[in-house]
């Protein structure tokens, strides 16, 4: 089973600042990597698939990069609605697996 490790666990950022979230896979997942955003009481929402392809309707301030074992989600200028928990997930190998999440909170 591929273990996905996200860092940091919590990220404190001021509105308008840049946020950089990391996700590391225990073995290569090629570009089969997705990022999700989850707000309290809501289902997760897909942000990025294929490591760097924004999902439909996702603002351009969200960008993904990386391949193999190291991935990054960047939010260029945090808006109030972006404070949430973010998860990465690999779908290159069975079983698919999620990271433990990064909470982005207001500084």
Q: What residues line the site for other proteins (CB under 8 A)?
A: 1, 32, 34, 36, 38, 43-46, 48-50, 55-56, 85, 87, 89, 91, 94-101
**Residue whose C-alpha is closest to residue 86's, from 74, 95, 68:** 74
Instruction: Give me the residue label for tokens 């490790």.
Output: 5
At closest approach, how far in Å is the CB of 67 from other proteins?
A: 15
Q: Are 89 and 81 in contact (CB under 8 A)?
A: no
Q: Measured from the CB atom, is 16 or 60 closer to other proteins?
A: 60
Residue 18 vs 27, nearer CB to other proteins:
27
Pairing verdict, β 97-98 and 85-90: antiparallel
User: Which two tokens mark 64?
Assistant: 């993904």
Q: Judged by CB, which is closer to other proteins: 32, or 67?
A: 32
């Amino acid at each position: 089973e591929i273990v996905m490790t996200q860092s940091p666990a919590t990220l404190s950022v001021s509105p308008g600042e840049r946020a950089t979230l990391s996700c590391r896979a225990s073995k290569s997942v090629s570009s089969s990597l997705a990022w999700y955003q989850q707000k309290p009481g809501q289902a997760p929402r897909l942000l990025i698939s294929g490591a760097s392809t924004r999902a439909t309707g996702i603002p351009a301030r969200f960008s993904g990069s990386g391949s193999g074992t190291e991935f990054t989600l960047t939010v260029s200028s945090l808006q109030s609605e972006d404070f949430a928990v973010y998860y990465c997930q690999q779908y290159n190998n069975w079983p698919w697996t999620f990271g433990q999440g990064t909470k982005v909170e207001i500084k």
